[in-house]
Structure 1
């Protein structure tokens, strides 16, 4: 098992590795941007009217937290990509893409479509897919798996928030 990305050991692969980091960063930033689009002004009015749980963080917390998490998601995927090709790496990268898809879908379901129950099903799938990605990434690059541990923790918290929002707004 590698702990240092393969591309960092070979100068000839550094340009390719930098391009890959840019792609993983762009994909993560794209997911963030799509989530931001889903939370437009009309949606914010809808959300403000919902009953919130007492443990709801202030609105100002979400932007900085998600900025850090998307950065960690990108670097984690890049580290896995930099390891030698094989079934374990392919599985981890597939799960990386799956979790990012569920991540993006949540914002559209919850904010875009105003469907908290559907978003709850999605965030449950997101939680499971992040856990599966972590397990798969750990077999390829342990630091890559560790990088997404805060993300899994936040998604678990987001799941609890989503569940309470559904319960309070039946």
Structure 2
């Protein structure tokens, strides 16, 4: 049975932070975010929930593959899982910074650090489990888009916030 429980836990765990962030985001979108100057190329709001659910689930499964194939937290997976934990913490921190504190400049810096942490995770996952590293590529792509969006919103709203 544990052959199903461990991957299921790994998939659900990253989504918990996403769900918590969703509550914060939901309140800020109509009251604050919709009044910001945003680029025309931004994805529609309804896309974010399904995309993040997919990304959190795939990153969770990737972490399980590395944990399984790398000998857990004390084997070859120790550094890759530390990188994973770092990027996950940075991921979860972005929403309270951007939507909660409304610190657009800080959110721009933070998402840059997140992007670097995702890249480090991909690089360290690769020797342990290539599939796990490849599962994170859409995540890096999405955070690249989100980084450009965050920077653009900060640049176009500096006079309103921060």
- TM-score > 0.5 by shorter chain: yes
* Secondary structure in 1 matching 2:40: coil
Q: Which residue of 1 aligns with 2:76?
A: 88
How many angstroms does 1:17 deviate by?
Answer: 3.4
Q: How many residues align?
A: 156
Q: Which moved more, 1:26-35 or 1:132-141?
A: 26-35
Structure 1 stretch 135-144 or stretch 20-29: which is displaced more? 20-29
Once the two structures are TM-superposed, the CA of residue 63 in structure 1 deviates from its matched residue by 1.3
Partners of 1:24 and 1:78 within 8 A in 2: yes
CA RMSD of aligned residues (A): 1.4
For structure 1, which segment, 24-33 or 78-87, has the greater mean C-alpha deviation from structure 2 after superposition? 78-87
Contact 2:70/2:76 (8 A) holds in 1: no
1:58 corresponds to which of 44, 47, 52 = 44
- State the Cα distance separating 1:43 from its structure 2 match: 4.7
Q: Which runs of 5+ in 1 are unaligned?
A: 1-14
Offset of residue 96 of structure 1: 0.9
Gaps of 5+ in 2: none
1:3 corresponds to? none
Give the whole-Å Cα distance in 2 for the aligned partners of 1:136 and 1:88.
10
Name the counterpart of 2:64. 78
Q: In the alignment, what sits opposite 1:8?
A: none
User: Pick from 7, 16, 32: which aligns with 1:30?
Assistant: 16
What is the CA deviation profile of residues 80-134 of structure 1, one whole-angstrom value per residue up to 9, with x for unaligned ones?
Answer: 0111425531111111111110000001100111111111111111100000000
Distance 1:115 1:106 in 2: 10
1:147-169 deviations in Å (ceiling 9; x for gaps): 00000000011000000000110
